[in-house]
Amino acid sequence: MTTRRQFIRISAMGAGAVMAGVTGYKLFASGLTDGQKATLAALTGRTPTYCEVCFWKCAGWVHKDEKGDIKKITGNSEDQNCNGRFCPRGTGGVGMYHDDDRLRKPLIRTEERGKQSFREATWEEAFDYIAEKIKVISAEHGPECIALFTHGSGGKYFSTLLKALGSPHIAAPSYAQCRGPREVAFQATFGETIESPERTDIRDTKCLVLIGSHIGENMHNGQVQEMSDAIDKGATIITVDPRYSTAAGKSKYWLPIKPATDLALLLAWINVIIAEELYDKAYVEKYTYGFEYLRDHVKNMTPEWAYGITTIDPTVIRETAREMANAAPAVIVHPGRHVTWYGDDTQRLRAVAILNALLGSWGRRGGFYRPETFELPEVKHPPFPTPKRSWRTEFPDMYKMADTVLANGLCDATIPDPSRHCQFQAWIVNGTNLIETLPNQENTMKAIQALQLLVVIDTMPMEITGWADVVLPECTYLERYDDLRTGPHRKPQIALRAPAAEPAYETKPAFWMARELAKRLGVIEYFPFEKMEDQLDWQLKQVGSSLEEMMKIGVKTFDRPYDDLYFAPDEDVEFYTPTGKIELYSTTMEEAGYDPMPKYTMHEEPPAGFYRLNYGRAPMHTFSRTSNNPNLTDLMAENSVWVNPRVAKEWGLSTGQYIHLMNQDGKRSEFPIKVRVTERIRWDSVYMVHGFGHDQKKLRRCYGKGASDTNLITKVLVDPIMGGTGMRGNFVTFITDLGGEEVAS
């Protein structure tokens, strides 16, 4: 075996690079720095929060110096999501507050949409402008033509506003661009969803199977912590990924699968588990429906069959299946998180669910536990009016198992089309950079150009704010109260977010914005509390706590009402499915006209000279929302494209070289991207971290750094079952001649 060695200093390149010229520094007094003093003062002066840099929502403490300036954030040791340890993004959350590119004042557009010409406005002006437009649109087209896209705490308040106005059209891209297929598949199988944080009992598992899931690079805190605990306890990790991910490096088995063939591997595993009678017989007998159908269905889907498709050695398929069975029921075939890949994602996740059912891991220690959410009293207000129209009527007989509004569905239904009635006229977008979130950017822009009103609420000038008619600057999570975090987790728990500082500039909390708009739109009765803190105190007092107490402790844990984290031995369990059983054969899917058991279908392969575009996450960033964060940019300032050395040789590529990528539709990356030649990627695909290549010039730190994968995802493989947007069917080639173009540095 020839050995290639790579030695990369991943983060913080500064120290070596700036060694020149160290002479002539002036003397400086020693003693404790402000951050160090904050540590010592922490025991007295600290503010509770839960994080909003990603949506794991870890609870922690914000520490300030004597001047009241925010210095650092640490975890709350009582918190189940983080166990006292924040991840790099949470620790670097201070950068979100200190970022001097933040939105500062309300803005109103002065020229046509797309040109970034804005004038500063007062809050009064901005609200009046929005309210006036909404009134006109509601009167002419009905309130249903107003849509909300949200990802974050503010979404709750704007949701209340929309529902009060009579629109049900509230979408989060975390569904159809991310977790949706998983939730639909597990709902169909077990009658319950996975939710976030995931109900995976990784801490106590003996075998963790990751399929394209890159925990460790995907830095969802509690999962990473529990994977580490599992490693400590000697658990087996099996990773299926065409890329040698960080998790693959921790695994006993790494299956370097041919991209887009995971479903064949899953079916072969099911085949082995059944053929070798490795399944949990008592569990399958007692709890499941359709085992015989499944046995017949997978009869011919042998490891040898899968070998031809996946390139995984049949012996390895058998061996790994036995590993899982040996560990059962303390085994987790992980459902993943971002799973909208190839358009048959619900079916792939059904195979994952079925495999878990055969191994008896659902409801068992080391498998999947029953999460508990704390029930808080809801704020009392009049019932919401009943909407007269739904987005669903625009998609007859499609996406029948979508159990929530599709962000891409709303986007598609905004584009004028003679076949559609409910063209959306207004979008309110809170905390999600739709341009980088929804695939097929041209489509998104076409929809935006058809709108009468686009309001964007954000803390940063993202690409989407450049398209807005009105931009409302939100203060960061460190400067506001928000609703209490209530779970789900092993124990019911609540966490408080309180402001550690006054909102900077003229920024305001989303709660206040939604309420001000409600006043102007005549629906103020849906916001009975004038101040968030009064609402929190009212809620807390009814559950035996108070805002005063929560300010001191940040997190409060309650007992589970029942001792039912796992199924009791021989417990009679009624599952929320039509048969009351775990449905190996899905009656819901059959009823809706979809395959009741998953079938492998071949996906398109890259043409000659093209490579499948795979994308993922880096532990120090959350999508595109952190790309400009000074602390996190310092850890990773741009992405690179991973290329296998064989491919690099063919193309004459070398590490550090900047190139353009061009996809199958001739779409060229807007900015050049740095090449990383590495053995860690298969020769038939390339890999890049999502969230870079910003073309918003107001993001001064990250503008033009790296390339955007979303930019290259023009082909979308839509899941017919629930409308998820499969994004891994795009292929790219390399353009090495930059033609004198300068690279941002």
Instruction: Scan residues 276-335 and list those touching another protein (CB under 8 A).
Output: none
Q: Which of 28, 576 has the CB closer to another protein?
A: 28
Q: Minimal distance in Å, beta carbon 697 to another protein? A: 21
Site for another protein contains 272 (CB under 8 A): no
Q: Which of 87, 510 has the CB closer to another protein?
A: 87
Site string for another protein, 680-699 (x = CB under 8 A): xxxx----------------
Site for another protein contains 377 (CB under 8 A): no
CA distances (Å), 295 to each of 268, 317, 446, 596, in order? 12, 18, 48, 13
Instruction: Scan residues 88-107 and list those touching another protein (CB under 8 A).
Output: 88, 91-92, 94
Site for another protein contains 655 (CB under 8 A): no
Q: Which of 5, 67 has the CB closer to another protein?
A: 5
Q: Minimal distance in Å, beta carbon 17 to another protein? A: 9
Q: Tell me which stretch binds another protein (CB under 8 A): 79-87, 343-351, 363-371, 715-723.
A: 79-87
Q: Which of 40, 738 has the CB closer to another protein?
A: 40
Instruction: Scan residues 25-54 and list those touching another protein (CB under 8 A).
Output: 25-36, 39-40
Q: Tell me which stretch binds another protein (CB under 8 A): 327-335, 370-378, 625-633, 664-672.
A: 625-633
Q: Minimal distance in Å, beta carbon 361 to another protein? A: 24
Q: Tell me which stretch binds another protein (CB under 8 A): 81-89, 283-291, 380-388, 415-423.
A: 81-89
Options 6, 300, 373, 736; binder of another protein; rule CB under 8 A = 6
Q: Which of 1, 608 has the CB closer to another protein?
A: 1
Site for another protein contains 228 (CB under 8 A): yes
> What's the CA gap between 78 and 552, in Å, rounded?
12
Options 634, 651, 662, 698; binder of another protein; rule CB under 8 A = 634
Q: Which of 85, 660 has the CB closer to another protein?
A: 85
Residue 37, C-beta contacts closer than 8 angstroms, at least 6 positions apart: 65, 66
Q: Minimal distance in Å, beta carbon 631 to another protein? A: 6
Q: Minimal distance in Å, beta carbon 13 to another protein? A: 8
Residue 689, C-beta contacts closer than 8 angstroms, at least 6 positions apart: 615, 616, 617, 618, 621, 636, 639, 640, 706
**Other CB atoms within 10 Å distance of the CB of residue 508:** 19
The greatest distance separating any two alpha carbons of the chain, rounded to the nearest whole angstrom, comes to 81
Options 67, 112, 139, 232; binder of another protein; rule CB under 8 A = 232
What's the chain's Rg over C-alpha atoms? 26
Q: Minimal distance in Å, beta carbon 198 to another protein? A: 16
Contact 604, 672 (CB under 8 A): no
Site for another protein contains 337 (CB under 8 A): no
Q: Minimal distance in Å, beta carbon 478 to another protein? A: 13
How many residues form the binding site for another protein (CB under 8 A)? Answer: 82
Beta bridge partners, 611, equal 732
> What's the CA gap between 389 and 504, in Å, rounded?
40
**Other CB atoms within 10 Å distance of the CB of residue 451:** 21
Q: Minimal distance in Å, beta carbon 8 to another protein? A: 5
Exposed / middle / buried, residue 83 (Cβ in 10 Å: 0-12, 13-18, 19+):
middle
Which of 369, 406, 379 has the alpha carbon at shortest distance from 390?
A: 406
Q: Which of 27, 608 has the CB closer to another protein?
A: 27
Q: Which of 27, 602 has the CB closer to another protein?
A: 27
Structure tokens at 32: 């404790």
CA angle 704, 710, 712 (to 5 degrees): 90
Q: Minimal distance in Å, beta carbon 666 to another protein? A: 30
Site for another protein contains 343 (CB under 8 A): no
Site string for another protein, 57-76 (x = CB under 8 A): --------------xxxxx-
Options 473, 606, 619, 729; binder of another protein; rule CB under 8 A = 619
Q: Tell me which stretch binds another protein (CB under 8 A): 13-21, 299-307, 425-433, 497-505.
A: 13-21
Contact 205, 231 (CB under 8 A): no
> What's the CA gap between 142 and 421, in Å, rounded?
11
CA distances (Å), 215 to each of 336, 598, 625, in order? 9, 26, 20
Q: Tell me which stretch binds another protein (CB under 8 A): 188-196, 559-567, 648-656, 672-680.
A: 672-680
Q: Which of 20, 602 has the CB closer to another protein?
A: 20
State the DSSP string of 690-717: TT--B--TT-TTTBT-S--SGGG----E
Site for another protein contains 87 (CB under 8 A): yes
For 189-222, b/e burial (b = at least 16 CB within 10 A) is: bbbbbbbbbbbbbbbbbbbbbbbbbbbbbbbbbb
**Other CB atoms within 10 Å distance of the CB of residue 397:** 8
Pairing state between β 470-473 and 453-458: parallel
Pairing state between β 611-616 and 731-735: antiparallel
State the DSSP string of 308-360: HHH---HHHHHHHHHHHHHHTTSEEE---S---SSS-HHHHHHHHHHHHHHHT
Site for another protein contains 656 (CB under 8 A): no
Options 256, 314, 387, 578; binder of another protein; rule CB under 8 A = 256
Instruction: Scan residues 125-164 and list those touching another protein (CB under 8 A).
Output: none
Site for another protein contains 678 (CB under 8 A): yes
Q: Which of 12, 738 has the CB closer to another protein?
A: 12
What is the end-to-end Cα distance of the chain in Å, rounded?
A: 38
Site for another protein contains 419 (CB under 8 A): no
Instruction: Scan residues 185-224 and list those touching another protein (CB under 8 A).
Output: 216-217, 219, 221, 224
Site for another protein contains 225 (CB under 8 A): yes
Query: Looking at this protein, which amino acid is placed at residue 404?
Result: T
Local structure of 641: helix, strand or coil: strand
Q: Tell me which stretch binds another protein (CB under 8 A): 23-31, 408-416, 530-538, 607-615.
A: 23-31
